[in-house]
Amino acid sequence: MLWNKYILATMIIFFVNNIIIWYQLNGQLVWPWWKTTQGFVTSMLIALPTAFGCWLATKWGYEGYGT
């Protein structure tokens, strides 16, 4: 496998995204604040950059692997 900047960026973005997603999904089980309306709105706002990160990492992953 040939390593290039796209593959490295893909791995980093997916790694960071998974950490953010863990907090987003498990916040309601850890912090009472996350169960409020503010927590819900925060979760929805976090979803936008997370979705963009997944889209970008997938795009760069296809370019990196040449498929």
**Average pLDDT of the residues of the chain:** 92
CA distance 33 to 45: 16
Q: What is the per-residue pLDDT for 44?
A: 93
Question: What are the pLDDT digits (tens) for 43-56?
Answer: 999 999 999 999 99
Q: Which amino acid is at 66?
A: G
What band does 1 get if pLDDT is binned at 50, 70 and 90? Answer: low
pLDDT digit string (tens) for 2-33? 778 999 999 999 999 999 999 999 999 999 99
In percent, the amount of the chain with pLDDT more than 70 equals 99
Write the CB contacts of 64 (distance below 8 Å, at least 6 apart in sequence).
Answer: 4, 5, 6, 7, 9, 10
